[in-house]
Chain A
Amino acid sequence: MTENDPINQDYQKAVIELLYQLADDDFIHAFRGSEWLGLAPHIEEDVAFSSISQDTMGHTAMFYRLLEELGEGSADHLAQGRSSIERKNCVLVELVNGPGNYMEKPRYDWAFAVVRNYFYTQAKAIKIQSLKNSSYKPLSDAAVKVKMELYFHLLHWKTWFTQLMTSTDEARKRMEEATERVFAELDGVFSQGSYRVKIVDFGLIEDETILRKLWIQELSPIFQSINLTMPESFGMKHGNGRDGEHTGDLEQAIQTLSEVYRLNPAAAW
């Protein structure tokens, strides 16, 4: 099916649902990354991490634009004007970077950042690989563009992950704790929510169980090499974001990221 074919309503609904998941995931993920700016462990990392967050924000813009083309409203409104209940992102990306605020006493947790970024990016890479064969052509085109950049993001976070896991005892302990916290929400990253069957039946992307299996296949050798056990199952401790279940952290994120926009959503900024 191409852009110009008549798309039946059900199909379009499924496309829209999946696009919201992809767009909201990357948007909140890039927002959390942007809060780290200037606070990374060293200056070189600040440059690298902000470059990655910028790429991710670029992917976000691509996904919101696809929604705009499907008549969902302007990309800027979709990004900034929706309440937390309307958001479809997974809970993992919305969790705060650590205690404090990015402007005041940010005691941000680098171990959590590394593990979350690595696991999320690996999951994203697997989804993007699957999306390259999506029946929705605009989405498969977007996937090709995103994939090129993901290679470097993944390499970056994998390097941090293995290095910190195999260094001091303190680093290992912090990394294991962070890994546990991320696993507790990782099912939410793969979840396709209540539209799952349609999303898969229409050939938009492979089923979440397949994606999860591919993720485990990719990460298992890495885990083995650093003597870490892959858990039997993951979790969705704070609920399924695909169905609108979120934490207060998302509300706080939306308040911040839309602070200026909300002064006057109709104005040109």
Chain B
Amino acid sequence: MILDTYDHRLIAALEQGLPSVPRPYREIGERVGLKETQVIERLKALREAGVISRFGIVVRHHSLGYHANAMVVWDVPDEEAAALGELLSALPHVTLCYRRRRAAPHWPYNLFCMIHGHDRDTVEAQIETLTRECGLAAFSRAVLFSHRRFKQCGARYTHSTPEKAAPNRDAQRPDRGQQGNVA
């Protein structure tokens, strides 16, 4: 699916979420120059084409009791990454899993997964279990727990405007994490 200017405008208009009014798509349409029905049809098409992977309520996972977040990375042969990634993805507690480009010599790891849990001990135990269950023990690994969150908001795919986003001044508060778009 090739996206046109209106698709990009629509995605940009939705970065802050649907407005809390009875006809939210009409209001979004007014902002981007589309009719309500066109907004709805375009969103359906983007969803069906997989450009939008899901459309709905985005929660802040910290506020739901998920306080510990670890990024776990392994250095596995590229050709084995997909099979291992599928194994990891099937496990509970794995919320994201993907292969990224390495950045040798500083960063040898290519298989990434994200684990959310109630507390650090629980997440550490889960990491040991999934490492064993997926046959990952032989590969070089790093575990990176998150600490302070300096900023978290919806992705911005449009070009910058002169108005700059303010950094998150609530960075020390551990209760505002949300799910965002995957990079």
Chains A and B form a bound pair: no
- B residues engaging A (CB < 8 A)? none
- A residues engaging B (CB < 8 A)? none
